[in-house]
Structure formats: C-alpha cells, structure tokens
C-alpha cells in the first residue's frame, strides 16, 4: 500500500473491468452501499467482496472472499477490493454426485 496519507484513505473498488477510487469504507455495510452506488447495475443484486492482496492468500494470489467480520482488519491492508455478484448463481453442477464403490474409489 502506498505511504501517501491520501492514498491510505482511499481504496480501489473493482467490478469486472470497471474501477473506481473511493474513500476507504470503515464497515462492510459502508462498502456494500458504496459498491451499489458506484455500480448501479448491482443495486438489486446480492454482492460480496474478495481480494488476493493479503499475505494469507499465498504466493499464488488465490482470491479469498472478505467476510463482514473480517472487513475492518482486512481493509486496512489492501489497495483493491473486487466486487463479486452472487446473484449470478454459483455454478452448481447439475450432474449427480459421484458414486463410490465398496473399495472406496470414485466411479464417475
């Protein structure tokens, strides 16, 4: 994160290819409101936030969703928060679950 004080007070909110610099939301609820304000197409959608900028995300930079309970800690250490639309429906498989043989192996 930049050492400039004005940068520390801001965060980049990203949704798909659209990015906006906003005042760093102090609460998860403030972040939700800001996302819906700056990305009107999400105003009626269920959204969440994720990042790959925390050390806990590992060297492979795996994205992790930021929970409401972790927001105040996580947001202090990151520059960008990605908004994700949960209303698209998670890509749930319609295939039946795998069957397991008596030996314990999976028979897809």
Read off the pLDDT of residues 9-22 as tens digits, 9 standing for 90 and up: 999 999 999 999 99
Q: Is 97 part of any domain? A: no
What is the per-residue pLDDT for 55?
87
Q: Is 33 part of any domain? A: yes
Q: Is 61 part of any domain? A: yes
Token pair of 73, please?
């800690």
CB 24 within 8 A of CB 2: no
Q: Determine phi and psi for 55, rounding to 5 degrees.
A: -55, -35
Q: Is 35 part of any domain? A: yes
Q: Is 23 part of any domain? A: yes
Q: Where residue 70 sits, what CATH number does that domain have?
A: 3.10.20.90
Q: Is 105 part of any domain? A: no
pLDDT digits 0-9 by tens, 35-74: 999 999 998 899 999 999 988 888 888 999 999 999 999 9
Q: Is 93 part of any domain? A: no
The range of the structural domain enclosing residue 48 comes to 5-88
Residue ranges of E strands in 1-108: 10-15, 18-23, 47-51, 64-66, 80-85, 99-100, 106-107
Q: What is the domain count for the chain?
A: 1
Token pair of 76, please?
């202090």
What is the per-residue pLDDT for 4?
60
Ramachandran assignment for 61, one of left (phi > 0), alpha (psi -120 to 50 degrees), beta (any other):
left
Q: Is 104 part of any domain? A: no
């Amino acid at each position: 994160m930049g050492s400039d004080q004005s940068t520390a007070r801001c965060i980049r909110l990203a949704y798909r290819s659209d990015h906006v610099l906003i005042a760093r939301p102090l609460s998860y609820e403030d972040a939700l409101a800001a996302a819906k304000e700056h990305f009107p197409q999400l105003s009626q959608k269920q959204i969440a936030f994720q990042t790959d900028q925390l050390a806990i995300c590992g060297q492979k930079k795996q994205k992790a969703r930021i929970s409401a309970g972790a927001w105040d800690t996580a947001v202090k250490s990151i520059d960008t928060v990605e908004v994700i639309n949960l209303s698209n429906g998670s890509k749930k498989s319609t295939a039946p679950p795998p069957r397991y043989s008596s030996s314990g192996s999976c028979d897809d």
